[in-house]
């Protein structure tokens, strides 16, 4: 069995078949989140693309690469969005260095 | 999808230049195996089969397949090497039809319709015959291609022609990738000229609309959102104005079909089209109010069917036998490419339909 199969993305909607109420609530919520609001759906798609990479979800990367292309997003904009995600991800690691420094200072200061 | 194409599929001797080969692709594979429903099966689920015309409103006349560009996605397989051009004799028959038709709009397309030697004569005569609602589908660069075309904006203005122009993106890179090197800059110059005579300006009655179609194997995004992006970018970056943006889906025929197959995107693209099927879009697809006329006077349900060689399913198949009542009493010819017009909010030469 393959862990990831790109054709499985087409089956995402089928999760509702095994739990109709929760699946339906999820997709209603999901659809609502991506509607135009205080943020444009284009801005939301770029956020989703960045998060797709920090989550390292192949399905999400597939879906939101296509979605951002559909919205006319350029390659440069897409890559910048991913760098924002990557910067937060690496920053989140590095900021824990302060914890390490605090501990070192306490034990061996 | 990059544009390194220099010749039409026909000139290259590509198998997909033959319409029967394209139709075989559309009928075979995932549709023949039943993995995806055919378009006929799909619209029969919503009781929309057979698809029938409503009142005829638009005569869309293809003046020929010659074009100064060789775009990567072109469903016409147009280019400088295509020699099919409407003659004045065929135009005379068109004019007879125009005098008697119930259609109110004459929609001129190509190729580059302006390259037809009798283009201006035809507009003048059609105007005398009573047409006041003209659309010309201009690729923009033709206005800059040769000094003899530089005054086209003035000609368009003289006949109050509604200009509908292709503009795949507001950036140079994406536009040139689809339509060829230098197309973006020439298009901007042409838009400046059109704005200069009043086309597309806020409040102007000289209509200038742009057409967006995706540069690759994906469907167009929301038309209203794209229009905002286009307007913002073209105004801020170049001081250019236009009225509306039409987001058009690329149909899987001709060069775009060739690209889908070569890039291994065909099945995914067809899945995307079928998944996005919208029954509400079916009621207003362009073939329900438009007749497409080819350079040699044959009649089709739409320009796409014309390129697939699918003539109307009627005993009236040519302008010389034209009878609108008989012609309107027909079933529209469909195949799997029709999914392109019914995906999402739908797609037509006037943009979304649902």
User: Residue B320: which residues within 8 A CB-CB, separation 6 or more?
Assistant: B93, B297
Is position A11 within any domain? no
Q: Which CATH number goes with the domain that contains A51?
A: 1.20.1290.10
Is position A58 within any domain? yes
Instruction: Please tell us whether the domain made up of B9-341 is placed in CATH 2.60.40.
Output: no
Q: Residue B264 and residue B312: Cα distance in Å, rounded?
A: 32
Per-residue pLDDT at A6: 87
Q: Residue B87 and residue B107: Cα distance in Å, rounded?
A: 17
Q: How would DSSP label each residue in B180-246?
A: -TTHHHHHHHHHHHHHHTTTT-TT-SS-EEEEE--SSSS----HHHHHHHHHHHHHHHH----S-EE
Domain locations in chain B as residue ranges: 9-341
Interface touch B221/A72, C-beta < 8 Å: yes
The answer to whether the beta carbons of residues B117 and B164 sit under 8 Å apart is no
The answer to whether the beta carbons of residues B313 and B331 sit under 8 Å apart is yes
Interface touch A69/B216, C-beta < 8 Å: yes
Q: What is the separation, in whole angstroms, between the first and last Cα of chain B?
A: 28
Cα–Cα separations (whole angstroms), residue B335 to B27, B41, B340: 8, 10, 10
Residue in B1, B172, B222 to test binding to A, most A beta-carbons within 10 Å:
B222
Model pLDDT for residues A6-22, shown as the tens digit of each residue: 889 989 999 999 999 99
Model pLDDT for residues B88-123, shown as the tens digit of each residue: 999 999 999 999 898 999 999 999 999 999 999 999
The closest alpha carbon to B229, from B216, B215, B210, belongs to B210
Per CB distance under 8 Å, which residues of A are interface residues toward B? 10, 36, 40-42, 66-67, 69-72, 74-75
Per-residue pLDDT at B344: 87
The answer to whether the beta carbons of residues B51 and B282 sit under 8 Å apart is yes
Mean pLDDT (chain B) is 94
Model pLDDT for residues B158-198, shown as the tens digit of each residue: 999 999 999 888 988 888 887 888 889 999 999 999 999 99
The closest alpha carbon to B151, from B207, B85, B106, B196, belongs to B196
- List, in sequence order, every residue forming a beta bridge with B107; answer none if it has no partner: B60, B135
The range of the structural domain enclosing residue A76 comes to 41-109
Contacts of A72 in chain B (CB under 8 A): 169-170, 212, 221, 226, 229-230
Q: Residue B64 and residue B294: Cα distance in Å, rounded?
A: 7
Q: What is the separation, in whole angstroms, between the first and last Cα of chain A?
A: 53
Model pLDDT for residues B15-53, shown as the tens digit of each residue: 999 999 999 999 999 999 999 999 999 999 999 999 999
Question: What's the pLDDT band for B286 if we cut at 50, 70, 90?
Answer: very high
B249: nearest CA in chain A? Answer: A70
Q: CA-based diameter of chain A, in Å?
A: 59
The answer to whether the beta carbons of residues B136 and B162 sit under 8 Å apart is yes
A75: nearest CA in chain B? Answer: B174
Reported pTM: 0.90
The closest alpha carbon to B26, from B35, B11, B38, B13, belongs to B38
Q: Residue B172 and residue B168: Cα distance in Å, rounded?
A: 10
Would you say the ipTM is above 0.95? no
Interface touch A70/B214, C-beta < 8 Å: yes
Domain count, chain A: 1
The closest alpha carbon to A42, from A73, A17, A66, belongs to A73
Contacts of B226 in chain A (CB under 8 A): 71-72
The answer to whether the beta carbons of residues B143 and B149 sit under 8 Å apart is yes
Model pLDDT for residues B304-347, shown as the tens digit of each residue: 999 999 999 999 999 999 999 999 999 999 999 999 999 988 77
Whether the CB of B170 is below 8 Å from some CB of chain A: the reply is yes
Contacts of A42 in chain B (CB under 8 A): 221, 225, 229
**In 10 A of CB A99, how many CB atoms?**
9
């Amino acid at each position: 069995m393959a862990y990831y199969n790109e054709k499985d993305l087409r089956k995402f909607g089928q999760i509702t078949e095994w739990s109709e109420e929760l699946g339906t609530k999820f997709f209603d919520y999901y659809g609502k989140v991506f509607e135009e609001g205080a943020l444009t759906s284009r801005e939301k798609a770029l956020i989703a693309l960045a998060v797709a990479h920090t989550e390292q979800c192949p399905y999400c990367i597939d879906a939101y690469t296509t979605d951002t292309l559909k919205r006319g997003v350029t390659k440069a904009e897409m890559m910048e969005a991913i760098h924002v995600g990557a910067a937060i991800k690496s920053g989140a690691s590095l900021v824990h260095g302060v914890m390490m420094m605090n501990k070192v200072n306490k034990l061996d200061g | 999808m990059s544009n390194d194409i220099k010749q039409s599929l026909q000139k290259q001797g590509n198998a997909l230049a033959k319409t029967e080969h394209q139709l075989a692709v559309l009928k075979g594979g995932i549709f023949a195996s039943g993995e995806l429903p055919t378009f006929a099966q799909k619209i029969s689920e919503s009781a929309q089969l057979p698809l029938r015309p409503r009142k005829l409103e638009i005569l869309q006349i293809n003046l020929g397949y010659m074009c100064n560009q060789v775009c990567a996605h072109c469903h016409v397989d147009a280019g400088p090497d295509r020699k099919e051009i409407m003659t004045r004799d065929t135009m005379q028959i068109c004019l007879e039809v125009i005098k008697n038709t119930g259609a109110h709009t004459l929609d001129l397309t190509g190729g580059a319709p302006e390259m037809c030697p009798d283009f201006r004569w035809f507009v003048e005569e059609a105007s005398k015959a009573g047409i006041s609602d003209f659309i010309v589908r201009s690729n923009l660069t033709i206005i800059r291609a040769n000094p003899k075309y530089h005054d086209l904006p003035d000609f368009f203005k003289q006949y109050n022609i509604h200009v509908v122009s292709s503009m795949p993106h507001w950036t140079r890179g994406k536009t040139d990738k689809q339509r060829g090197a230098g197309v973006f800059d020439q298009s901007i110059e042409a838009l400046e000229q059109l704005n200069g005579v009043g086309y597309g300006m806020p409040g102007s009655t000289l209509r200038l609309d742009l057409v967006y179609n995706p540069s690759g194997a994906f469907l167009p995004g929301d038309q209203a959102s794209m229009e905002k992006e286009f307007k913002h970018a073209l105004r801020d970056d170049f001081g250019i104005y236009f009225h509306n943006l039409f987001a058009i889906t690329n149909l899987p025929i001709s060069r775009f079909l060739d690209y889908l197959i070569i890039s291994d995107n065909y099945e995914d693209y067809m899945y995307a089209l079928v998944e996005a099927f919208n029954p509400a879009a079916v009621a207003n697809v362009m073939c329900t109010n438009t007749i497409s006329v080819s350079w040699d006077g044959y009649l089709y349900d739409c320009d796409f069917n014309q390129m697939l060689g699918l003539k109307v399913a009627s005993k009236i198949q040519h302008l010389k036998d034209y009878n609108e009542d008989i012609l309107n009493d027909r079933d529209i010819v469909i195949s799997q490419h029709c999914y392109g017009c019914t995906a999402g909010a739908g797609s037509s030469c006037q943009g979304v339909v649902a």
